[in-house]
């Protein structure tokens, strides 16, 4: 393929786990919060090509970049802590890679940090299994105390069932809800939601719709959602995306 960083035969490429694995943190903000996940992937890949990083290409028929992303955000949700892992054919200074990406990326997807992580860590999408969300329900027909009571009632029911498109989804709330707090603010109710990835993910909008149902109220006029932290839950502790990693047996390797 003309212009690709690796011009040899696919069978001669290094084993994926041996390739440098660059982890990049970036934001998803402003109007790009409404960018769908597939469009996001395509946009980031174009930025990587513009940055002229020595990215690795997979051995498959489609010959795609070797890149992994975190769990998809709900459309309309912003984030200060999204990540992707990019396999490189050769290492370059992480700060240099970050600067190249910053010059090649729109501000609403601006990368904020980059560092190398162990090549044999599990896939990023499954490994980052804890998320913290900041929610703002504007003109909510309930106050913070009612919101917390509604969440407790939803939790007691154990399972949520909802439609996503034409498919019925089931969420084990007890397994996926790690924490919830609410406070009254001017114009509505602000909430902090901690979720755990366990089977089907618990989306903030789904939880608040269930709260409105158990309270017998309408929905807020608008809901702002922002992901503010991601981590890996391991042996009762939270591991940050950039480590430190326990490679003596605690952190599983792929």
Q: What is the pLDDT of residues 216-253, one digit of tens each?
A: 999 999 999 999 999 999 988 999 999 988 755 444 44
**Residue whose structure tokens are 């050769």:** 90
Average pLDDT over residues 16-45: 93
Q: Which domain holds residue 102?
A: 13-127
Spatial separation of the C-alpha atoms in residues 66 and 253, rounded to whole Å: 18
The neighbouring-strand residues paired with 226 are 78, 134
pTM score of the predicted model: 0.86
The reply to whether 134 and 220 lie within a common domain is yes
Q: Evaluate if residue 1 carries a pLDDT over 50.
A: no
* Domain assignment of residue 249, yes or no: no
The reply to whether 170 and 201 lie within a common domain is yes
Band of the pLDDT at 2, cuts 50, 70, 90?
very low
The total of structural domains in the chain comes to 2
Spatial separation of the C-alpha atoms in residues 107 and 29, rounded to whole Å: 8
Q: State whether residue 176 is helix, strand or coil.
A: helix
The reply to whether 30 and 102 lie within a common domain is yes
Across 21-76, the runs of DSSP E, i.e. the strands, are: 21-28, 67-69
Spatial separation of the C-alpha atoms in residues 230 and 9, rounded to whole Å: 38
- Count Cβ atoms within 10 A of the Cβ of residue 178 and give its class: 0-12 exposed, 13-18 middle, 19 or more buried: middle
The reply to whether 111 and 138 lie within a common domain is no
Spatial separation of the C-alpha atoms in residues 182 and 207, rounded to whole Å: 13
Contact 223, 205 (CB under 8 A): yes
Last residue of some domain: 62, 94, 127?
Answer: 127
The pLDDT of residue 9 is 55
Q: State whether residue 246 is helix, strand or coil.
A: coil
Spatial separation of the C-alpha atoms in residues 193 and 191, rounded to whole Å: 6
The reply to whether 157 and 114 lie within a common domain is no
How many residues are listed for the chain in this entry?
A: 254
The neighbouring-strand residues paired with 168 are 163
Is the bond leading into 97 cis (omega within 30 degrees of zero)? no
The reply to whether 60 and 157 lie within a common domain is no
Q: Evaluate if residue 11 carries a pLDDT over 90.
A: no
Q: What is the mean pLDDT of the chain?
A: 89
CATH number at residue 157: 3.30.70
* Domain assignment of residue 154, yes or no: yes
The DSSP H or E segment spanning 245 is none
The neighbouring-strand residues paired with 26 are 82, 111
């Amino acid at each position: 393929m003309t212009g690709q960083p690796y011009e040899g035969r696919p069978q001669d490429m290094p084993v994926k786990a041996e390739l440098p694995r660059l982890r990049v943190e970036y934001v998803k903000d402003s109007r790009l919060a409404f960018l769908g996940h597939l469009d996001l992937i395509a946009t980031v890949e174009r930025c990587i090509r513009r940055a002229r990083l020595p990215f690795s290409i997979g051995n498959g028929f489609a010959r795609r970049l070797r890149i992994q992303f975190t769990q998809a955000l709900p459309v309309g949700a912003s984030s200060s802590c999204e990540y992707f892992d990019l396999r490189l054919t050769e290492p370059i200074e992480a700060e240099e890679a970050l600067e190249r990406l910053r010059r090649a990326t729109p501000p609403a997807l601006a990368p904020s940090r980059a560092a190398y992580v162990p090549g044999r860590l599990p896939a990023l999408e499954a490994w980052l299994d804890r998320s913290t969300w900041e929610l703002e329900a504007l003109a909510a027909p309930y106050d913070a105390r009612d919101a917390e009571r509604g969440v407790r009632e939803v939790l007691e029911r154990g399972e949520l069932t909802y439609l996503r498109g034409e498919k019925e989804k089931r969420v084990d709330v007890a397994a996926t809800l790690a924490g919830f707090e609410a406070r009254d603010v001017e114009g509505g109710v602000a909430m902090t939601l901690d979720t755990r990835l366990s089977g089907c993910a618990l989306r903030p909008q789904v939880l608040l719709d269930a709260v409105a149902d158990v309270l017998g109220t309408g929905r807020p006029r608008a809901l702002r959602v922002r992901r503010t932290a991601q981590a890996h839950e391991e042996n009762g502790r939270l591991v940050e995306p950039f480590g430190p990693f326990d490679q003596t047996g605690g952190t599983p390797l792929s």
